[in-house]
Amino acid sequence: MQRRAAAIYVALFVVIGAASYSLLVTAETPQIEFQNPEYELSSGQTFQAGSQTYNVTGITAEMEGGGAGGSASLARTGTIEYTNQSADYTASWSNNSTVSIDNTTWTVLAPEGENATEFTLREDVNETALLQQDQNAEDEMVTVNGTQQVVIRENGTRRLTPASEYFPDPRSQNYSQGATLDYQGNQTTITAVGGGAVEVSWTAPRTNTIDVSDRGNVTLGDQTYLAYFPNNETMQLTSNFENYNAQSEEIETFHTHENGLWGISILSFLTAILLVGMAYMPSRY
């Protein structure tokens, strides 16, 4: 009688466990899906958002984690670039530093006074280039009695000319605060002078990069979008956050139910095994 009752309970728990397990293996995990995202993009594609043009420069998918027995996960990311045609740039030229203007190198002579309004650019004479251009001059100078001399070859003879007399006097150009000059191909304004430095500013194009993570937010212009990667080649941008939140809650609920079914299946089978073991335990009378 004891074994017969145990068999009935074993069958009951096996049926419950099997039913739970069948639901687990047949259920399909819901996925995030956007029917009409504002943008569906692939690598290399350009698109317009507001008045700005953007370019998807890359979409990558890499496995992350998995160390020390942990499970690895697929991480998808994207990169978007755009060019600001009138970005602001600034630079500081310290005293005795050099700058290149109009293919000429100049030394900055910036006053130390805080109330200064002017500074000087002094040309750096390229002595090596001038010597190489002169067929009668040797490429290297010599020092005689502490003075540098240029070696000139004429009619088979060599004569020395002081470097101070051979090379031309460097040019100087004075600039005042508020003046403009051509620096690196840009119209540049002298914004401040003094304290041993010169501050300059200009506008020019600048390429900016935006890193996009899966299910992260990205702001393009004045609009914020949710980025989603349905596969390894596609990036979707949508502003329908309510739809995404609703789908995320649905997926979370599914996993909660899934964990519950796993618990029922495991507990039912363990209970059935325990009942079988107890039914066949030897009687003491």
Q: In the chain, where are the structural domains located? A: 2-87+208-279, 89-205
Q: Say if residues 61 and 75 touch (Cβ distance below 8 Å).
A: yes
Q: Say if residues 212 and 218 touch (Cβ distance below 8 Å).
A: yes
Residue with tokens 């499970």: 71
Q: Which amino acid is present at 256?
A: T
Our CA dihedral for 243, 245, 251, 253, rounded to 10 degrees, sits at -120
Q: Rounded to two decimals, what is the model's pTM? A: 0.66
Which of 106, 110, 105, 107 is CA-nearest to residue 95?
110
Q: Each residue of 5-25: pLDDT tens digit?
A: 666 655 665 666 566 666 556
Q: Each residue of 44-64: pLDDT tens digit?
A: 999 999 899 999 999 999 887
Q: Would the pLDDT of 245 be above 90? A: no
Average predicted confidence (pLDDT) for the chain = 83
Distance of CA 217 to the CA centre of its chain: 15
Which of 211, 247, 240 is CA-nearest to residue 76?
211
Q: Would the pLDDT of 82 be above 90? A: yes
Residue 272, class by beta-carbon neighbours within 10 Å (0-12 exposed, 13-18 middle, 19+ buried)? Answer: buried
Q: Say if residues 40 and 236 touch (Cβ distance below 8 Å).
A: yes
Q: Which amino acid is present at 206?
A: R
Q: Each residue of 144-176: pLDDT tens digit?
A: 888 888 888 888 888 888 888 888 888 999 999
